[in-house]
A and B are shown apart, each in its own frame.
Chain A
Amino acid sequence: MLFNSFEFIFLFLPITVIGFSCIGKYGHKKLAVLWLVTASLFYYSWWNPVYFWLITASIVFNYGIGTTLSKQLSLSKFSRKIILASGIALNLSLLGYFKYANFFLKNINSLLDQPIVHWDTIFLPLAISFFTFQQIAYLADAYEDRVHEHSFLHYCLFVTFFPQLISGPIVHHKEMMPQFERNSTYKLSSENIAVGLTIFFIGLFKKAVLADGIAVYAAPVFEAAEQNILLTFLEAWGGALGYTFQIYFDFSGYSDMAIGLGRMFGINLPLNFHSPYKAKSIIEFWRRWHITLSRFLRDYLYIPLGGNRKGSVRRYLNLMIVMFLGGLWHGAGWTFIAWGAMHGFYLIINNSWRTLLRALGYDSNGSGWLGQRLSQIVTFTAVVLAWVIFRAESINGAENVLKGMAGLNGFVMPESYLDGLNQIAPIKSFLANIGWEFHSLKFLQGKAEILSLFFLLIVSWCAPNTQQIMHRYQSVFDIYRVEVKKWRWNFLRWTPNFAWFLFTLTLATISIYRMMSYGYKEFIYRFF
C-alpha cells in the first residue's frame, strides 16, 4: 500500500485516524499505541505477509539486545561491547543477505568462467535498510546509556510507525519515545489534522503530479542509453534534468507525506529534506538531502572512524568511506557505489577548497549574491552529473548519457524552437556556424518538456519549502542545525483560511485526478 494509492488515502488512513481518535478519546493510551502498531504492521504486511515475520523477529531481537544493554549496566565493558557487536553484526548480516548477496555472488560468478555458486534470486524485504539502520542506532544508544524508556509497545511503534516505516525519516529512539509518552499525543487535535492534511496533500501533489509527470521524459532517455543509442546534447540533458527533478519531487513528496501523516497522530517526525537544490556547496547539499541518513552516517560511521580529528588525509579517507557505504546503502549495484564515490570525491574537493580559502585568508562561507548564485549552479550541476550515474542501470548506460551531455554525440535542435528567436536575431546561422544541426529529436519531447524542466528548476530554486510554509506550526522535529528560515512573504505561510483551503483542495483534487487518469508509481526510495 503506497501513500499515493486510493486504498491508503480513502480506506487505511481514515480508518486508522478514526480508530486512534476513538481509543485515545477515552484515555486508553496503551490501546491507542496497540492500534497504531497493528495498523502499521498491517500496512507493512500488505505487500507480502511473509515480511510480517521478518520485521517482528527483528523487533523482538533488537529489543532484547537493547534492553540487556541498557538495563545490565553492571556487566563489564567488554561483555557489553560483545553484546553490542553481535547485535549490530546480526542486523548487518540480515541486511547483507537480503540486499547484497545477489550482487556479490553475481560479481564473483562473472569473474570466474565457471560459476561456483548457484543462487536463487533473493527478494529484498520492504524497508529493510530503514528499519535495520534505525535499530542499529537504538542499540548504539542503549550501549551509551542514552535509552531510558523500555516499553515494548512503544518500541514496536518506534520501529513500525507507518508514516516513517517504508522510506524514513530514520528516527532516533530518543526523539520518538517522549512523544509517545505525552498525553496530548493521544487526543486528536484539529490543528494537528489540519496541518497534517495540508502537508500530506502538498507532498501528494509533488509526487503524483510533479515527480510522476516529469518521469515520462527521463525514462526513455535512460532506456535508450542502455541500448547504446546515441543521445545528442539536448536529449541527454533533458533526460538527466528530468531525473534530477523526478527524484527531488519524489523524495520531497514522500518526506512531506510522512511528516504530514505523523502530524495527524500528534507525532513530529524529524526534518528529512530541506530544499537541497538551493545548496551552495556539496557539504550543504548533504545537510539538506536525506538529512536523517546523513545524520546516521555522521554519528555512527564518520565520527567513530575518527571524523576530522585525525588529520586531513584521514578525514578525506573517512569521507570517502562514508560516501562509498552511503552509496552502497542505496542499492547493491556498481552505479550506486560509483555515485557514492563521486559524492565522496565532491566532498573532498569542497573541503579542500574551504581549507585553501581559509589558508589564503578568505571567508569560506561568505561571498556576494553573484558568487552565491554561481556556487549554487556549480553545486547543482555536480549533483545532476551524479544523478545520471545513480539512475542508469549500468555504468555503460551512465557513460552514454554523460557523453551526450558533454556534446560528444553532436548538438541537434528542432528548427521550430528558433521560430520566435529568429525574428529578433539570426540565431540559427550563429548556431549552425558553431556546429548545431536542425532536425527533430527522438528523445526530447518538445517545448512542453523544456518548459516543464524550467518550471521545476524555478520551483526547486526559488519557492518556499513545506517547512517554511508551515513555519508557524512547527511541523517537524527540530534537528541537525537546519534553520527553517521564515519566508519573506507572510501570505505564503500557512494558516487555516479560505485562500489556503482553496489552494490545498486544488492540490488534492489535481493529484487525485492525476492518480485516477495515469495511475500511481512507486516511490523511488521505497526500493532502498
Chain B
Amino acid sequence: MDIKNLFTGFSNRTYIVGIILGIIAYVFIAETFLRIYVIPNDELSQVAVSVYESEKRDVIIGDSQFKFGFPEDYSLFEGLSFNGMPVETMGIILKEYYRHRRPNKVIIIAAPQMLAENRVERGDLGFKEYFKFNAVKLPFMIYAFEKLVSRNLADFFKWIHYKPEQQFKENMWEETAEEKRTEMTLKRIETQRPVKNFQETRNFKSYYQLLTLLKDKNAKICLLKMPVADEYRELVRNDKDFLEAETAFKEMAAAYNVKYVDLGQIPVTNDASLYINSDHLNEKGRRLFAPLVEKYCFDQ
C-alpha cells in the first residue's frame, strides 16, 4: 500500500478498488442484517422471499383471517397472506408470484372485510414499487435491493431489538363474557363493513383483474370465506351491506366458473372455543378447518 498520510499518496487504482470493495462490503452487511433480523420477523418480507424463492405452485392468499386460518406446518400451499391486505396488493403479489411459475391451485380470500373502507383506502400499499428484480428469473436474490425488504433498514434499531408481539391468548374468545363479546363484535363489524357502492372501487375491480390473470394461466381457483364466531354470524345475518358483498362474490365466482366456498356453512360444530376473537381462528380452529379446505375447494 502506498499510503503516506491522510492527504498524500493513494494511487487512482487503490482508490477505485477501495471504493468498490467498500460498497460491496456495505451491501453484504445490509444483506446479512436483513436475513438475520428482518426476514424471519417481518411478514411482508416473507412474502417477498416467497415470491422470489418458493418452489410451490399452490398458493393461499388473503388477509389476517387466512394468516391465522392455516397452521404454520400447512405445507401444501405457499402462504402469501398478511394483515390488512387490500385486493390491489393481492393482485400484484399473485402477478409477480406467477411471473415465472405455472399456477396450480390458488385459494383466494373472498370475505366482506376485503371491501371495507380501510382496504379501499390502502390501494396497492405501494406494492407497484416492489419486485422490480422479478422481471427476470434470478438464480439468487439480494434482498438489500428489494425495497419491500430493504425499507426495513430505516428501522434498524427496531429490528435489532425486535421481540415478537405477544400472541393472542388461544382461548381468549371463550373466556370473554358474552356481553363483552357482542360489544367487541359490533365494533369489529363496523370496521369491516363493505363500503357503499364497493363495486365501483378499484379495490373490488382488482378481484376481476386477478381472476382474469389466473384464469388465463389456467389456475384452479377457489374463492374462500373463512368461518366467523356465532356472534359475528348472527349480527350480519340480515345486514344489507354484508349480504350484498356475499352476493357479489357469488356472482364473481359464477362469472369465472370457479368455486365459492363459505367455511362457515359447512356442517361442523362452530363454537367460541375455536376463536381468538370474533373472526380469527385459534390453533384448535385451524386444525379443524384447514384440512377441510382442499376438500371443499377442489374435490368435485
Contacts and interface: CB of A to CB of B under 8 A. Distances in A.
Q: Do A and B come from one complex?
A: yes
A189 to B, nearest CB: 8
User: Which label, helix, strand, loop or mixed, suits the secondary structure of the A interface?
Assistant: helix
Contact of B23 (A491, A495, A508, A516): A508
A512 interface: yes
Interface residues of B, number: 31
B10 A496 contact: yes
Given A509-B26, A512-B27, A518-B151, A496 B144 contact: no
A496 B14 contact: yes
Given A197-B19, A516-B144, A519-B129, A501 B26 contact: no
Contacts of B15: 194, 496, 500-501
Contact of B153 (A190, A499, A501, A516): A516
Contact of B154 (A10, A191, A496, A518): A518
A53 to B, nearest CB: 21
B11 interface: yes
Interface residues of A, number: 27
B30 A491 contact: no
Given A10-B145, A197-B19, A498-B7, 11 more contacts: A7-B132, A496-B10, A496-B11, A497-B10, A508-B19, A508-B23, A509-B23, A512-B26, A513-B26, A513-B30, A519-B129
Nearest to B144: A516
Interface of A: 6-7, 10, 190-191, 193-194, 197, 201, 491, 495-501, 504-505, 508-509, 512-513, 516-519
A491 B92 CA distance: 51
Interface string B10-34: 1111111011001100110010000
- Name, among A193, A495, A498, the residue most crowded by chain B CB atoms within 10 Å (CB to CB): A498
Interface of B: 3, 5-16, 18-19, 22-23, 26-27, 30, 129, 132-133, 144-145, 147, 150-154
A505 B14 contact: no
Given A499-B6, A508-B22, A509-B26, A197 B16 contact: yes
A495 B14 CA distance: 12
16 contacts: A7-B132, A10-B145, A496-B15, A500-B10, A505-B19, A508-B19, A508-B22, A509-B26, A513-B26, A513-B30, A513-B153, A516-B150, A516-B151, A517-B150, A517-B152, A518-B151
Contact of A505 (B18, B145, B150): B18
A194 B154 CA distance: 30
Contact of B7 (A10, A197, A499, A508): A499
A505 B23 contact: yes
A239 to B, nearest CB: 23
A8 to B, nearest CB: 12
